[in-house]
Structure 1
Amino acid sequence: MNTLSYVLLCMLARKPCTGYELKQYMELFWQAHHSQIYTVLGKLETQNYVEFEADTETTKKTYSLTQKGIEAVSEWVLEDTPEPINRDEFLAKIYVIALMDKSTVIQLFNDRRRHYKKRASINKPKLEELEALQNDPTRKEEWRNSFGRYLIVKRRDDICREELAWCDWAEDLYHSAFDKI
């Protein structure tokens, strides 16, 4: 099985989901197209790792794990995790910052800030919703089931904050280094 297969199984270990819901939840940490997700779900269903219940009115399928799927997830989480793949076109551009004119540099930092502010604004309501669960003693089971999602959303929020602070620091350093030349 490929990694996307395991990722989908992990998502379904939390709760049954449609393909659309899986895509939404995965965006926190994994990029995949709908076509990839549905292709993999079809293979997982054929191999008896997942099963689905079809809604006859909407033609939506809600997928859930089979016992074989649960066992596969349980074994996979024990395997060594490879180093994350890191691709960031912005950092490649920053690598040659000395070749750029001042307005290009400022534009790059502003674009980066805009991107991370947008991500932070998307994370904020999710984080607030999950923190409300954490603080509600009547929803302990729901909090427990959402704990992994909370950890990921919180990490993404922290990364946004750190990236925004880094942009401010790096741009200030750029100005102090290049404005005097």
Structure 2
Amino acid sequence: MQTLRDKNSQQNQQYETVHVNGQPITLQTNRWEVLDQHKWDKTKVTVSGGGGYVGPYGGYVNAPQVHTRQIAQHEIWLRDSDGKEVPLHLASHNFPVRPGHQLVLYGARTKKQSYLVGVKNMTTGTQIRMLNWQSVLAQACVLTAPLWFRLSGLARLILLFVLGWVCAGFRLR
């Protein structure tokens, strides 16, 4: 693994490029210091349905359906060894950090996009995983789905029919 080290700091960035199905993927870790954090909840409310009909001979009324969804938000301000400050936004993760803690971010980068795979608090030892490697490789279009999943519904039906017919033919003989 190659290591890039800043002359003025002991903090570092590590990276290694691997090839999966002939496509390069750069795996990297970056060490950051926590400067500040802020947590809040975001609530999403949706209403659906409702309405009806009332006439001289009766009718019906459909009550509206109200749905709420609460999403925990967490913003963590980080600083690298060069003094560059960036925010890290986490949704639906309870990740304990305090100013001064050291975090390591694990990621993967392809030619088109970067993916945050996980975060580890080196001070407390806690960690969270955002994606597993199979998801990263599938989203990056490096892994191809098995043939069965790439077939349309009709093609699957025809294949099952042919396989059933062939298997039945072997049993009759």
TM class by shorter-chain length? under 0.3
Q: Taking structure 1 as the reference length, what is the TM-score of the superposition?
A: 0.20
More helix by share: 1
More strand by share: 2
Q: Taking structure 2 as the reference length, what is the TM-score of the superposition?
A: 0.21
